[in-house]
């Protein structure tokens, strides 16, 4: 599987983050709101109001089901509007509802998109339809920010322009998922399961941390942090490292932010029981300089480890599960992981079991 992943990546010419990091000012704001709102269940609960406006725009009646399409203003728009391109400001979703249920309950699965999964059809055909036809389970398919109808005009395919865009995407999906859960519960649906593949699995995991009630969670092919994905995994080959390096050295504030976050993480580790493990520390047995992703023959193309470290620190800050609250009931979590995943490397970082004891791991 690992060699297949690497070969497939070589065939792809796309590049992530060609616009750079996204400015020190904006990254600092994202860190602030991650720490004070999105990363805390209690404060994020301000979006879980019964009257948060959700608009239904289309209804398709089929023989065995009804498909609803709707939208609402992403709560993240109210937090950092200057970071929200017009195209991503409205969350769009498709809701597949069976005409008949198997019990008095009305179970709903929320499907989060993996990398490159634009629009609804893939998740609808391969996941939502079988759940509905075989088990009478409803599904909500969320259109990812920066994808499909929510893709900014100046963005090519799935290639996020700035590093900050990934964190904006996460902030949007966490708050949008919470709104949809609240809206469904208000309308008599439940219980709920959150799921997704790879990036979608991680977004589902983050959403579970802010929901104040027990919720099922099935993250597939994701792990405890996105740091290794973009610093050591196959996708690190698609990162525009030269441009990130140029942007990093153009503003000394980036280095200040990196050092500040490293200090914060070290101090927090002294206090917390669930200690965060980073593969980018002296105690780690991983040698970044020998990794094939950065082992360029041309010395001019070699990536400075300071740049890789900044990426790792930022990703840990905004995506590491240890920085978020533990879901209310971890016994409802089934983690599906590949034995040899070249996209989401698991060595040198926390296992999900160490952060959320009580979950069930399937390999």
* pLDDT given at position 26: 97
* pLDDT given at position 7: 46
Across the beta sheet with 55-61, the strand order is 55-61, 65-73, 90-98, 138-142, 108-112, 192-197, 216-220, 334-336, 360-362
- In the numeric block, which tokens belong to residue 211? 């929901």
Q: Are 190 and 211 in contact (CB under 8 A)?
A: no
For residue 246, the SS3 value is helix
The predicted-structure confidence for 279-288, as pLDDT tens digits, reads as follows: 555 555 555 5
Residue 152's pLDDT band, with cuts at 50, 70 and 90, is very high
Cross-strand bridge partners of residue 112 = 196
* pLDDT given at position 351: 83
Nearest 5°: CA angle at 208, between 205 and 213?
160
Residue 234's pLDDT band, with cuts at 50, 70 and 90, is confident
* pLDDT given at position 184: 97
The predicted-structure confidence for 43-92, as pLDDT tens digits, reads as follows: 888 777 888 999 999 999 999 999 999 999 999 999 999 999 999 999 99
Nearest 5°: CA angle at 110, between 353 and 136?
110
* pLDDT given at position 14: 67
- In the numeric block, which tokens belong to residue 20? 């750079």
* pLDDT given at position 76: 93
For residue 35, the SS3 value is helix
* pLDDT given at position 37: 92
Nearest 5°: CA angle at 137, between 356 and 187?
85
Q: What is the mean pLDDT of the segment spanning 213-236?
A: 89
Helix (H) or strand (E) holding 254: helix 252-271
CA 265 centroid distance within chain: 20
More confident residue, 124 or 342: 124
């Amino acid at each position: 599987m690992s060699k297949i992943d690497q070969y497939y990546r070589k065939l792809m010419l796309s590049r992530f983050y060609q616009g750079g990091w996204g400015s020190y000012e904006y990254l600092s704001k994202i860190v602030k709101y991650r720490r004070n709102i999105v990363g805390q269940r209690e404060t994020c609960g301000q979006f879980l109001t019964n009257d948060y406006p959700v608009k239904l725009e289309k209804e398709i009646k089929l023989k065995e089901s009804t498909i609803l399409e709707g939208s609402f203003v992403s709560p993240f728009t109210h937090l950092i509007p200057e970071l929200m391109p017009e195209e991503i400001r409205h969350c769009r979703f498709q809701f597949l509802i069976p005409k008949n249920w198997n019990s008095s309950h009305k179970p709903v699965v929320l499907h989060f998109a993996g990398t490159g999964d634009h629009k609804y059809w893939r998740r609808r055909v391969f996941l939502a339809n079988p759940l509905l036809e075989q088990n009478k389970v409803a599904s909500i398919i969320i259109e990812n920010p920066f994808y499909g109808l929510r893709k900014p005009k100046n963005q090519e395919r799935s290639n996020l322009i700035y590093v900050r865009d990934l964190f904006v995407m996460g902030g949007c999906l966490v708050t949008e998922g919470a709104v949809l859960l609240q809206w469904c519960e208000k309308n008599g649906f439940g219980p709920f399961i959150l799921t997704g593949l790879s990036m979608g699995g991680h977004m589902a995991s983050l959403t579970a941390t802010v929901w104040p009630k027990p919720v099922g969670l099935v993250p597939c092919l994701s792990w405890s942090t996105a740091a290794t994905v973009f610093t050591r995994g196959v996708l690190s080959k698609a990162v525009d490292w030269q441009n990130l390096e140029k942007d990093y050295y153009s503003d000394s504030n980036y280095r200040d932010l990196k050092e500040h976050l490293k200090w914060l993480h070290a101090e927090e580790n002294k206090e917390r029981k669930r200690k965060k493990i980073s593969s980018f520390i002296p105690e780690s047995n991983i040698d970044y300089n020998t990794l094939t992703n950065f082992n360029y023959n041309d010395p001019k193309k070699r990536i400075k480890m300071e740049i890789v470290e900044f990426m790792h620190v930022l990703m840990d800050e905004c995506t590491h599960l240890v920085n978020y609250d533990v879901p209310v009931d971890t016994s409802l979590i089934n983690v599906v992981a590949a034995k040899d995943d070249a996209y989401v490397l698991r060595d040198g970082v926390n296992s999900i079991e160490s952060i959320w004891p009580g979950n069930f791991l399937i390999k």
